[in-house]
Amino acid sequence: MEVNKEDWLQDAFASQFPPFEGMVRERLEAGRGSLSLYELNLRVRSVLEETLSEPVWIQAELSSVSTRGPHCYLEFVQKAESGNTFIAKARGQIWASKWALIRPYFEQTTGQPLSPGMQVMVQVEVTFHEIYGYALNVIDINPTYTLGDIARRRQEILRQLEEEGIIDLNKELELPVPVQRIAVISAEGAAGWGDFQHQLLNNEYGLAYQVQLFTAVMQGERVEPTIIAALNQIAAEQDRWDVVVIIRGGGATSDLTGFDTLALAENVAQFPLPVITGIGHERDDTVLDLVSHTRVKTPTAAAEFLIHLGVEQLLRIDNLRTSITDATLQLLHQQMRLERITGRIPSLWELYKTNHLHRLDTAFADLQTLVRTVLDRQRHRLELAIAQLDAADPVRIYRLGYSVVRKEGRAVRDASTLRPDDEVVITMEQGTAKAVVK
């Protein structure tokens, strides 16, 4: 049986889209045999509305997030498991009425704003507009899903640092004695930087400090590159500084994503000076906190920590001075007792002088030996204390001939990691030098 092509097309389209049966019939009867773009889009819209009439939950990665007016506009993507090739992409939006609820709920739960690169689980309505095409209208979000992904990425960074053997390198550095020359990384004009200076330089003990600011961005996408740049500046003149302090005053917890990156963690973990962090948050530790030498809560707490170190050093010096003074007084007391004993010897002593002269000389010699021994012991303790103070001087260590080799800003600890023609920077007592590995 021969089937008329136009009749078949008309019947098939009419069965799928009854509302447009008349329109299509007219088109086909007119002999045109095709649909307009608008008619096709109406058909697509109708199919979507019929087959996806209920909201659905989807999992996807955010490739872009932007706000225009009261609304939020997104792009969702899915990548192939074996690489970064996109296998799906869709645009979406969160209208103002939903955005006003979703945004604070998500940020309060995760501590972070919706950002590109985030994995999210959202409930969406599938929409299709004849002009703007296919889009996903977000009506709800599951922040717990994103929290799991954030925790997973953080654990991946920590695991990689463990595998590289560098996660505890900065913690193993000894704080110098005394700690007075301080390089600070913070945003210029930030309240945290002002609080740190005020607390440190106006301390009640009169401790003196040398402080210099190396500016960096402390929130957003530029946190990582600007802090690394500041670290490189400090490393180029590291003999001028005792410690590095990274501080950020206040701000939302959601601004902390820049401190959870592998490159920044690697730079801090391998930095040749102890790094103290006071980023101004209490609930969670960032990856930067976990690899730094010492983590405190706020810029003010960082200043208090340094002041506490100075007070401890003063107490050690004061205790050493007290010990030396007590030992000296004891020796003087023994000498005075000896003189008193000698002065009280009765005149009858002369009668027994011949018989007991040898015993007296021996006793006196022993007493002198004891006095010399005590004096030598106390003198030796004093020399040891002075030697310990001298040994801790970083300038002296450089003068012994030690130097630090860096490749791409990182300390080289294993020569096997170097390759021919690699460029390295060598830091010595007097300046730095560039070299090429042969």
Q: What is the pLDDT of residue 276?
A: 97
Tokens of 383: 């020399």
Residue 10 has pLDDT above 50, yes or no: no
For residue 97, the enclosing domain spans 56-163
Of 54-68, 210-224, 254-268, where does mean pLDDT reach its minimum?
Answer: 254-268
Quick one: which of 284, 312, 310, 311 has its CA closest to 297? 284
Q: How far apart are CA 331 and CA 83, in angstroms?
A: 79
pLDDT bucket at 208, cuts 50 / 70 / 90 = very high
Q: What is the pLDDT at residue 70?
A: 95
CB-side neighbour CA atoms (13 Å) of 294: 19
Residue where a domain stops, chosen among 163, 186, 205: 163
Contacts of 237 (CB under 8 A, 6+ apart): none
Tokens encoding 236: 């180029």
- The closest alpha carbon to 237, from 181, 303, 311, belongs to 181
pLDDT exceeds 60 at position 7: no
Same domain, 251 and 284: yes
pLDDT at 23: 53
pLDDT computed for residue 164 by the predictor: 95
Q: How many domains does the chain have?
A: 4
At residue 110, the pLDDT reads: 82
Decide if 252 is inside a domain. Answer: yes
Which helix (H) or strand (E) segment holds residue 10: the answer is helix 5-16
Q: What is the 3-state secondary structure (H, E, C) of 286-303?
A: CHHHHHCCEEECCHHHHH
SS3 273: coil
Q: Are residues 214 and 270 in the same domain?
A: yes
How far is 337 from 333, CA to CA, in rounded Å?
6
pLDDT value of position 12: 43
Highest mean pLDDT among 50-54, 170-174, 358-362: 170-174
Residue 327 has pLDDT above 60, yes or no: yes
* Structural domain ending residue among the three candidates 284, 309, 334: 309
Query: Within a 10 A sphere around the Cβ of 155, how many other Cβ atoms?
Result: 11
Question: Do 217 and 230 fall into the same domain?
Answer: yes
Judged on CB neighbours under 10 Å (0-12, 13-18, 19+), 17 is middle
> Among 55-64, 83-92, 244-253, 297-306, which stretch is predicted with the lowest mean pLDDT?
244-253
- Percent of the chain at pLDDT > 70 equals 85
Residue 60 lies in a domain: yes
143 plus 176 within the same structural domain: no
What's the pLDDT at 3?
Answer: 40
CA–CA distance from 197 to each of 16, 189, 307 (Å)? Answer: 74, 12, 12
Do 144 and 188 reside in the same domain of the chain? Answer: no
Bigger pLDDT: 399 vs 161? 161
- Domain assignment present for residue 331? The answer is no
Residues 259 and 274 grouped into a single domain: yes
Torsions phi, psi of 128, nearest 5? Answer: -145, 125
Whether residues 94 and 147 share a domain: the answer is yes
Q: Considering 245, 279, 309, which residue would you say is the last residue of a domain?
A: 309
Compute the half-sphere exposure of residue 420: CA atoms within 13 Å on the CB side of its CA.
1
**pLDDT interval class at 351 (50, 70, 90):** low
Q: Identify the pLDDT of residue 376.
A: 84
99 in a structural domain: yes
Same domain, 292 and 206: yes
pLDDT tens string 124-167: 999 999 898 999 999 999 998 988 887 888 889 999 999 999 99
Q: Is the pLDDT of residue 17 over 50?
A: no
* Same domain flag for 157 and 173: no
Distance CA 220, CA 215 (A): 15
Assign 386 a pLDDT band (cuts: 50, 70, 90).
confident
Evaluate whether residue 425 is within a structural domain.
Answer: yes
- If asked whether residues 144 and 216 sit together in one domain, one would say no
**pLDDT tier at 1, thresholds 50, 70, 90:** very low
171: domain CATH number is 3.40.50.2300
- pLDDT for position 344: 66
Q: Is 353 within the bounds of a domain?
A: no
Q: What CA–CA distance (Å, rounded) separates 76 from 205?
A: 57
Examine residue 333 and state whether it is found in any structural domain, yes or no: no
**Whether residue 179 sits in one domain with residue 106:** no
Q: If you average pLDDT over each of 110-119, 391-400, 417-426, which comes out highest?
A: 417-426
The answer as to whether 120 is a domain residue is yes
Closest among 288, 286, 243 to 263, alpha carbons compared: 288
Q: Which residues, other chains included, contact 269 with Cβ-Cβ below 8 Å and sequence gap of 6+? A: 161, 166, 167, 168, 169, 170, 291
Please give the residue that has the higher pLDDT: either 21 or 90: 90
Question: Alpha-carbon torsion 178, 183, 188, 191, what sign?
Answer: negative
Together in a domain, 100 and 195:
no
